[in-house]
Chain A
Amino acid sequence: MKKWNLIKWNLIIDVDKCTNCNVCAVAVQDEHVGNQFPGYAEEMPKHGHRWIEIMRRERGTGTAMDVAYLPTLCQHCDNAPCIKKAPDAIQKRADGIVLIDPVKAKGRKDLVEACPYGAIWWNAEKQIPQHWIFDAHLLDRGWKEPRCVTVCATNAMTSVKVDDAHMARLVDEQGLQVRLADAKTKPRVYYKNLWRYETCFIAGTVSCLRDGQIECLAGAEVRLLSDGDVIETQKSDVFGDFKFDKLAGQSTHFKVIVDADGQTQMVDNINLDQSINIGEIHFA
């Protein structure tokens, strides 16, 4: 195999940088609605398809909350379930891009269900399954990157064309993750800061009484314990706030201990089925 065959496309999505502006999704419509690219893609329906779809996750309550957005699209898997189901109609290109042949895949509504990422869309009018094609039609004409990458003003999306070993290094260096790793689909779309979407936090605030006034208590030592072990220690900030993040959901029996003014307070039995704001811990 020639060396250039090893250079493959990958997409890196930084969840921390996505603001839900949706310009990437609109760019996909701009590119594919009303345009037919023979050999690559049929026209996209004007409405109802989201070849790039942005998912939202709100975490927390009250003013201790945050929101993360997760752009989802065809993952161009190396071990693609859709190809397994329709090897004749779906092609894995040498550059890593997966293409559903709009002619051969006609009538294959079953492929929509094949994708564990929900990234295949059924075009009822044309009776074909469709997906985000990584703008292969443009890359083949010399474009440097797919359109969603070009329009992303916060660099939440970047495309890299490197060999798999290089990509593995990037995964390592940047702590990239794939979605549904257990499905062993080997996606070519990697996520950075996925914790913002997939994990939980425990937040709260510490206050005290000073000269008859309630004040935010900065610098209190706040410890997070799980099953008796201290797993993280923080100092409360100028607003008295603390936030333990990147905690796995569904974990149980967290305990928060706050030391301040020579006193200790504790919030016990925190069941973390979702991010939680334990509110104000007051030192009288």
Chain B
Amino acid sequence: MKLSLILFGMALLFRYARWRNPEFRQRLAGKDLKVQIKTQDGKQGRLFLFQKGRVSSRSGVHADADFSLVFKTAEVAGRLLMPPINQLQQIEAMKNFLFHPAGKDEDSVWFAQSVMTAISTGWKTGSAASDGTTRHCTITNGGPLFVYVKDGRIIRTTPIIFDDEDAPSYTVQAHGKTFTPPRQTSLSPHGMNWKSMVYAPNRLLTPLKRVDFDPNGARNIANRGLSGYEPISWDEAFDLVASEIKRMKRVYGQGAIAQSNGSHHNWGNIGYYLSAKIRFMNAIGTTEVHHNPDSWEGWYWGALHHWGGSLRVGGGEPFGTMEDCLKNAEMVVFWSSNPEATNGLYSGFEGSIRRQWLKGLGLRIVHIDPHFNDTAQFLGGKWIAPKPTTSPALALAIANVWMNEQSYDTDYVAKRTQGFETWRDYVLGDDDGIPKTPEWQETETGVPAKDVRALAREWAAKRTYLAAGGLGNTFGGAARNPTGSQWTRTMVCLMAMQGLGKPGINLGNMQMGVPHDFSFYFPGYADGGISGDLNNTALAVSLYQRMPQLATMNPSTQIIPRLKLPDAIIDGYAEGQVWDARTIEGQFSKAIYPKPGHSPVHMLYRYGNAILGTLSDANRYVEMYRSPNLEFVVNQSIWDEGDTRFADVILPACTHLERTDIGEWANAGGYGAHFNSQVNHRVIAFQSKCIEPLGDSKSDYDIFTGLAMRLGLGSYFTEGMRDVDWAKRMFDASDLPDHISWKKFIKKGYFVVPTEREDLRAPTAYNWFAEGRKKDVPEAMPLPGDYTEAFGEGLQTQSSKFEFECESLKRYMPDDPERPPIAKYSKSWEGPRVPELAEFPLRLITPHSRYSFHTQGDGKDSYLNDIKDHRELIGGHYYWIIRLHREDAKARDIADHDLVCVHNNRGAVICVAHVTERLLPGVVHSYESSAEYQPMGAPGASVDRGGCINLLSPSRTQIKNAHSMANGLSMVEIEKWDGTTTFIRKDPLTAAQGLNAEGAKK
């Protein structure tokens, strides 16, 4: 009785939806289907007829249904179908075979999504603006956006301007002043650039197949990168890719399919690579291309061993440092820290206003960087310019002064640290006969000894914040070059000498540490999303309980360390230590490919952004793509750029402005805990589908759904949901419903999390440690089992103290010359004094790009092309920029705006020269991560004019016992470009040096 009523109600719902819901009507169009809902004994049920855009129903069980949804009993059906739907009950019922679909998987998905569409009748996204546009919201890697749309077209995008209804902002008092941030969000250049990215001329608008690729005949693999493409239908594309997936498993077995994505994708918790992509890839079984801790390199492989923080990739606690720095610091030393260019990470220019407050206080500010960087330009202060890769020597000399002059915190060192004496013996030269004095460092760094002494004394005399790296206590900068792990180690050792965690003494650059209410739950992008993956995301921590979903697990445990992907494909062998953040010792395990009994990789599923421009010695990837070992390459991409044109089949994805998602600004979840402490307001957005997908492009979710249905996995992959239904589930799983209704949320588009009460703000990072208290900052790390003393007492290190001499390294490999138990300096293996590199005398530093973000924002004929310091138009082409010192330019007869060839044995890139005083002579500067790779002849054997600077960078890992990029520095030569387009690649420099063949082609 009850079931029949519910089914009758469903029929009414369909009729209502057909009347009121255009999306539902659209679904009905062109779909003829008879759906039977029934009990397993066939005694009760109702037939739903979808025909010619109409919907009708008949009670009872009928023989002519195309598709049936079969419930074990009427009681079960009544319970599961009674609104509101209980998701936990639903998936438990699925797992326990209480109901099952009978019929085609695609019909199952269609019917379930149609039910969800009907339920969503009345949802209205966006709100009307005064000029006839509709205002939607979204979030990008460069900040949140209001997106104004009219007639299906994006008119404009702006930051989010808060209204009176939004929660008040925080205030901070320091030095008699009150500081409070602006009532709006901010945007980085690539965040402001999205309109031109959406409407870019190189958008992929239809599925494509390489013209000379025949899956049943000649594959012409050697033509990848050369041949053109022909459009194919989505049906053809899905069939082709699905049949290759099945063929791989049938012919080669588990492991044959590798999948690889960039480090970032469009913002949002549903469509993100750590969400829908993992869900799909786990469902088909893939060899994971395991990421190195890119951009954190030196911190993870270095500093981590001294102070713990494995779940922060070796970085430090962020809490309260912004306020503490303003109130208590007397000096700030920016050391390879350029937040004005890198925007911290994801956070627009949120930190800039706070650094402006800092500037207004008139503290002494020092910048240590071979480049007079944008933060130095903004804040002013003393510029100290060490040669690239030599900063560890400068740091040791500072420690040497403090030791000799007894100007460090001896009490703190005695009580809170361990192993100081061993390090002191090295720094003073008692163990190797070389005192690491300011004079000693001068020969390495080029910095006058007197400046180092003055800096060391001022630092010791003043409460000093050390801003190391882009986020102040981790990320980017010198951590990305060959001596990156040395540098981070010396950075934290210096702070431990001065009393890390005491008022005004900490690591930070005003980029993190905004006093939010961190207890308000909304998941970040790495908190599992819809991945179902309890092993490789943070899903198990909270979201799995809050948003029950079908679990997924990758049946293949074979992994390829990402930096060795070309070696794995070309040579069939690769090994490297993996990033395993659960504990310090996680990084000592080695992954070896192929894994015993697994198939080598024969198919590559590339997803997300172009990555050729972001990975070291990029020509190796060009060679990889043309290897006969790769029988099939599919690339699911938004734009036609970088390595997209090495695929056999291209699946056109839409941007996140053309699909639905949900997310919080700068909240990376488990990947970067408390990254949202960079932004001045926690902003959570319903990321509207602002416009329809351009051309025939589809959302990543719908592409995966289409493939999943070809593999019988549609119901499993979707759980019957559209992307918007997942967004609603995530909304319900968060703390949002206590503050805003779903309908209001999707209309208004965003919610500002109320700021934390001043008396409840998190204490300052490491203050608990400095004062010997139990840990009282709000972070659930390290793992409970990783404390040595009682839970919450001390650091993650074995001794629970700051370890100048690292127990982990002593235990693991005490004689490793590249990473000894104490922080030492050894010269970079890529440098001007390496004889084999003599013909490449210039040190090229390649920081994260200022105007674009990885490959997002660059290329694509975007607005950023017009920024004078991003690219420059010469002869009809937008060239990438290389900056060099006036003297270096003069010596090479190079003038401002000349086209030059930047080259070494690995590659050659045509850039436009900008002559400047902002660099140390002998140092040249160009950003990494161009989106474009444009060989002027055969790929791999010609010069590039796309600006792919990573063609020049070494593939060698920073230290042998790691899996770590060192692409922040390359030795190069530059000359005026004479028009030559050929380039003959010689053996990689790493091998030519004869120092270490690590990373070199075998």
Complex: A63 Cα to B863 Cα, angstroms: 33
- Contact yes or no, B155 A65, CB < 8 A: no
- Which of A67, A207, A240 has most chain B Cβ within 10 Å? A67
* Contact of A48 with B by CB under 8 A: yes
Given A67-B918, A154-B349, A216-B453, A47 and B189 contact (CB-CB distance below 8 Å): no
Are B918's CB and A30's CB within 8 A? no
Please give me the residue from chain A that is nearest to B340 by CB atom.
A19
A34's contact among B186, B187, B189, B199, by CB below 8 Å, is which?
B199
In Å, the complex CA distance between A58 and B851 comes to: 20
Check if A151 sits within 8 Å of B158, measured CB to CB.
yes
Q: How many of chain A's residues have a CB under 8 angstroms from any CB in B?
A: 50
Does A110 lie at the interface of the complex (its beta carbon under 8 Å from any beta carbon of B)? no
Give the shortest distance, in Å, between A280 (CB) and chain B (any CB).
Answer: 8
Q: Which residue of A lies closest to B129 (CB)?
A: A141
Binds A, one of B759-767, B867-875, B955-963: B867-875
Expressed in whole angstroms, the minimum distance between the Cβ of B18 and any Cβ of chain A is 36
B-side interface residues, number (CB < 8 Å): 59
A63–B458 Cα distance when bound, in Å, is 19
> Which of A47-85 touch B at CB < 8 Å?
47-50, 54, 56, 58, 60-63, 65-67, 69
How close is A150's CB to chain B, nearest CB, in angstroms?
Answer: 7
User: For A150, what are the chain B residues with a Cβ–Cβ distance below 8 Å?
Assistant: 158-159, 161, 184
Partner of B866, one of A19, A47, A61, A237: A47
Question: In whole Å, how far is A192's beta carbon from the nearest beta carbon of chain B?
Answer: 14
- Nearest CB of B to A222, in Å: 16
The answer to whether the Cβ of B591 comes within 8 Å of any Cβ in the partner chain is: no
Nearest B residue (CB) for A35 = B155
B554 at the interface (CB under 8 A from A): no
Chain B residues numbered 854-878 whose CB sits less than 8 Å from any CB in chain A: 861, 863-870, 873
- The answer to whether A238 and B449 touch (CB under 8 A), given A19-B352, A58-B918, A67-B918, is no
A26 in contact with B189 (CB, 8 Å) = yes
Q: A63-B384, A153-B348, A153-B353 are in contact. Are A47 and B865 (CB under 8 A)?
A: yes
- Shortest Cβ gap from B882 to chain A (Å): 16
Q: A30, B161: Cβ atoms under 8 Å? A: no
Known contacts A33-B863, A154-B352, A207-B450, A19 near B378 by CB under 8 Å: yes
B153-168 vs A, CB cutoff 8 Å, 1 = contact: the mask equals 1011111010000000
Residues of A within 8 A of B454 (CB): 215-216, 218, 238-240
> In the bound complex, do residue A46 and residue B861 qualify as a contact, i.e. CB atoms below 8 Å apart?
yes
- A19 and B451 alpha carbons, distance in the complex (Å): 27
Known interface pairs A207-B450, A215-B454, A239-B451; A35-B349 also in contact (CB < 8 Å): no
- Contact A30 B130, beta carbon cutoff 8 Å: no
Instruction: Please give, as numbers and ranges, the residues of chain A lying within 8 Å of B131 by CB-CB distance.
Output: 141
Q: Does B188 contact A23, Cβ atoms closer than 8 Å? A: yes
Contact of A153 among B349, B861, B867 (CB under 8 A): B349
From the candidates A17, A61, A142, name the one contacting B917 in the complex (CB within 8 A): A61
Known: A61-B917, A67-B918, A151-B159. A25 touches B866 (CB 8 A): yes
Say yes or no: is A31 at the interface (Cβ < 8 Å to chain B).
Answer: yes
Q: In the bound complex, how far is the Cα of B195 from the Cα of A31, in angstroms?
A: 10
* A19 and B377 contact, Cβ closer than 8 Å, known pairs A26-B189, A67-B372: yes
In the complex with contacts A20-B374, A147-B158, A216-B454, A27-B192 CB distance below 8 A = yes
Q: Is A130 part of the contact surface with B, judged by Cβ < 8 Å?
A: no
Q: Are A65 and B851 in contact (CB under 8 A)?
A: no
Contact status B449-A214, CB under 8 Å? yes
Would you call B196 and A33 a contact (CB within 8 A)? Answer: yes
| Subset of 7 A-B contacts with CB under 8 Å | A21-B189, A26-B193, A27-B158, A30-B157, A50-B866, A142-B130, A207-B450
8 new A-B contacts at CB < 8 Å, known A22-B851, A58-B918, A62-B917: A19-B340, A23-B349, A29-B196, A33-B863, A46-B861, A153-B348, A215-B454, A218-B454
The 8 closest A-B pairs by CB, nearest first: A153-B349, A216-B454, A29-B863, A26-B192, A153-B186, A63-B383, A67-B377, A22-B867
